[in-house]
Amino acid sequence: MNVRHKLLGAFLAAAAIATTTGGVVLHADATAARQAAVTEAEQVARGIAKDVAFGLPPDTAGESTTSLMYNRAGLAAYLTRLHDLQGRDIVVIDQNDMILADAVPDNVGQRFDEDDDNQVSKTIADGRSRIFVEKSEDYPQGIKQVVVPLTGPGDAVKGAVVLEYTPLYEQMIEATAAARRMIVVAVAICVLLVLLIGLIIAGSITRRINSLTRAVEVIRDGDYTRRVALKGRDEIGRLGQAFDDMAERLERSAREILAKEYTDSILANAGEGICGVDGHGRIIFANAAAGRITGLGVDGLLGQDSGVVFPDAAADHEGTLQRPDGTSLQVAYTVNAIGRGGGAVIVLRDVSRQRALEHDLRHQALHDGLTGLPNRKLFLDRLEHAMTRARATDEAATVLYLDLDGFKKVNDSLGHSAGDVLLRTTAERLTGALRPYDTVARLGGDEFAVLLESTDLVTVEALAQACLDALNQPFLVHGRKAVVSVSIGVVPGVAGYGDAEEVLRNADVAMYAAKADGKGCFRFFESRMHELLLDRLDCESRLREAVHGGELRLHLQPVVDLGSRRVRGVEALVRWADPERGLQQPGSFIPLAEETGLIVEIDRWVLYEACREVKRWQDISPGASPAWVSVNLSAANLEVPDLTDRVAYALASSGLSPHCLVLELTETVLMRDIAVTSARLEELRELGVKVAIDDFGTGYSSLGYLRDIPVDVLKVDRSFITGMEHNQRQQELVSAVVQLGHTLGLKVVTEGVETEEQLALLTRMDCRYAQGYHLGRPEPAETLIERLAGSALIT
């Protein structure tokens, strides 16, 4: 049994004693009430017995009194009056236990035998009053009765008087009921208080003892930091204070014991070198790290002059430490004096790798990761400094903004790794073409910038031309020759501008002006170029509105069967009905659409319209309508996830058969990623549509790729046809391409036929299909349908 149970047991015993005391008080109160009722009843009965024995007191002086025992009518009247007034039943009995008078007249003359153990007879015999309980069938619970002797003159006992005292007893009990209830409540409250106080005291004591017990267990396990902090001035509180004092002494002793071990372990295993130096500058202590950093070892350091070993040692100083093997490290020193004896502790840390990493991070933050050239941030910083120097010294400074022409074509056809090689080669050529102190930077993508300081306009032009010449030379990329050019924007006199961003922005504008002038050239910035740029932005905005505003127009160009001179197919081409500039050819807005991403929306519109128009044509004139329609898809469409769904929707919504649709992609687009492109083309062919290689012969692919790409139609570029009639080798090349296509099972279509002579040559080469201005110019679908309504024959 624990302390808590013992304390609770003691308080429970106290509660039991209080309860017992309350019970005793209640019993004593009940006994007193009963005794008082008996006494009162006995006195009343004796008074009645006296009245019966000696008669009622006279009403007038001189009146004589007569015993009621001999006046039966008077006795009956007397008892009836008492019964009516006091509600008590009174019985008068003679010496022979016969009833002389009763509140119930029928009982008179009968023997009284309702008492237990003949209490009435005993009272008549000895003259002593008694109490008993009268029980009958009418009153099974019993009636409390008191019997007193009926004593006449000379104290002779002539009978007895029996008086019911039950009402009096109940009145006494009722009168003391409130007191008994108060006693019960008081006892209950006392018991509850004793139990509550017991729980509180037991809980408090046991908590303090348990806290002390747990603390002892923790101390036993070696943790000397535990404290109990018991409050109070009793024995437990003093015991807790003594325990805390003991624990504090144990903790202090443990710290003192472990301090040296910890210190030795820390010094031995510290990553930083630590050396202790005495007042004469001699090294008297060194850890392993110090020996490793210096290359001397711990034994080699002890006794050495610290000024010789650490010549650069100073508080918060960094210097170069020469090692015995000839290598050097960048070391950071921390020196702390010890006491007044001149001793010190030197902490040395090897920061060589950290400084190298910081240098690399700074270089990466300010240089291009691919070419190693300064990046945009570093170029702008150098430009700002150059502008400040130019304002102070009146020296001229110029910025060149370069953008490669045709880089996207190389990147798409040969892959991104080839594009990276070309960019690195471009950086090398630019650096070689310029002066050593000129800054060449890569701004991003295929854009570069050059900062020329201390240069006049003649030198600027010469250096700009040198950049053009350097980049106009063919590049050898993955075993293939790639040709690109560069467009350069020039901004001289940068000192006159507000900030570097403005200079670079104007150089960018001049570069776009060079592109607009045919590319492969340089142009000096002029204020009017801003207007051109704004015009380009306006054109882009209007083109965006045209795509969604119904300004695009569909034109169809016939594809003719050379044997029958009948139209077998058409190629869908787009025109822009510009409200400001009239009908625009594709070359005036398609490049802009490709740059802005609008080309995807334009291609989708052309696809839907072409399918709808050709289906309508087939419904109107089945005999004269084309068997297929060709629709061009740009490179951006291959990156659209739902391209196949779009084509399927166009076919389903128009009702055109999938076999009547040919999707044309340029050779450059097809060669960009053979695996990805082939997968997309197979998805399209599963719909039933056909795929054509457009402008064949203009990309970087070889003829061998034809067997690996899932295509159905080969369209020979117009560059092969132009001038063919005067060039025998060109004729042989075209004939070879046509025969190769036929051998591979492809439908061959030649583009750009503009003369009858070209048409005759192609017929002799067994080329079956052709298109060009000689056979039919692109025209609105309605016009072409109307013109060929009677016959699809081209004359």
Is the CB of residue 439 less than 8 Å from the CB of residue 451? yes
Assign 518 a pLDDT band (cuts: 50, 70, 90).
confident
790 vs 66, which has greater pLDDT?
A: 66
Confidence of residue 404 (pLDDT cuts 50, 70, 90): very high
Q: Encoding tokens for residue 623?
A: 């005999």
Residue 667's pLDDT is 73
pLDDT of residue 606: 94
Whether residue 795 has pLDDT greater than 70: no
| Cα separation, 324 vs 304, whole angstroms | 14
Does the pLDDT value for residue 481 go beyond 80? yes
Contact, 321 vs 312, CB < 8 A? yes
Condensed to tens digits (0 to 9), the pLDDT of residues 618-635 reads: 999 888 899 999 999 988
Task: List the alpha helices (DSSP H) in 569-660.
Answer: 590-596, 599-620, 643-654
Cα dihedral sign, 388-391-397-402:
positive
Sheet holding 273-277, edge to edge: 283-286, 273-277, 343-350, 328-338, 317-322
The confidence score (pLDDT) of residue 790 equals: 64
Per DSSP (E only), the strands in 323-460 are 328-338, 343-350, 397-405, 439-444, 447-453
Which amino acid, residue 766? D
**Residue 444 CA to its chain's centroid (Å):** 34
Q: In 3-state terms, what secondary structure has residue 132? A: strand
Q: pLDDT of 372-398, one tens digit each? A: 999 999 999 999 999 999 988 888 899
SS (H, E, C) 554-589: EEEEEEEECCCCEEEEEEEEEEEEECCCEEECHHHC
CA distances (Å), origin 56, targets 45, 48, 67, 258, 427: 15, 10, 8, 114, 153
Residues 720-762 have pLDDT tens digits of: 899 888 889 999 999 998 998 898 889 999 999 999 999 999 9
- Is residue 528 scored above 80 in pLDDT? no
39-60 burial code (b ≥16 CB/10 A, e <16): ebbbebbbebbebbbbbeeeee
Confidence class for position 258, pLDDT limits 50, 70, 90: low
The pTM (predicted TM-score) of the whole model is 0.46
Q: Determine which helix (DSSP H) or strand (DSSP E) holds 476, and give its type and residue range.
A: strand 475-477
| Phi, then psi, of 201 in degrees rounded to 5 | -65, -45
Candidate from 398-402, 459-463, 476-480 with smallest mean pLDDT:
476-480
Q: Work out the end-to-end distance of the chain between its first and last CA atoms, rounded to an integer number of angstroms.
A: 123
Beta partners for residue 576, in sequence order: 552, 584
The pLDDT-based confidence of 611 (bands split at 50, 70, 90) is very high
Position 202, amino acid: A
C-alpha 464/C-alpha 490 separation (Å) is: 8
Q: Give percent above pLDDT 70 in the chain.
A: 92
In angstroms, rounded to a whole number, what is the distance separating the alpha carbons of residues 338 and 336? 7
List, in sequence order, every beta strand (DSSP E) within 257-372: 273-277, 283-286, 317-322, 328-338, 343-350
Phi-psi region of 118 (alpha: psi -120 to 50; beta: other; left: phi over 0): left
Report pLDDT digits (tens) over 425-469: 999 999 999 999 999 999 999 999 999 998 899 999 999 999 999
Instruction: Name the token pair of 467.
Output: 């950049």
pLDDT at 632: 92
Give the burial class of 111: count Cβ atoms within 10 A of its Cβ; 0-12 exposed, 13-18 middle, 19 or more buried.
exposed
**Paired strand residues for 101:** 92
pLDDT tens column, 39-55: 887 888 888 888 787 87
Tell me how far apart the alpha carbons of residues 121 and 114 are, in angstroms, rounded to a whole number: 11
- In this prediction, residue 503 carries a pLDDT of 92
Distance CA 529, CA 540 (A): 17
Tens-digit pLDDT profile for residues 680-710 = 888 889 999 999 988 887 655 556 666 677 8
For residue 673, pLDDT over 80 is answered with no
List the structure tokens of 219: 């101390």
pLDDT band at 307 (very low <50, low <70, confident <90, very high): confident
b or e along 64-99 (b: 16 or more beta carbons within 10 Å of the residue's beta carbon)? eeebbbeeeebbbebbeebbeeeebbbbbbeeebeb
Tokens of 20: 């017992």
Q: Which two tokens stand for residue 464?
A: 């700009």
Confidence tier at 63 by pLDDT (50, 70, 90): low
In this prediction, residues 143-170 reach a mean pLDDT of: 82
Residue 732 vs residue 220, higher pLDDT: 732
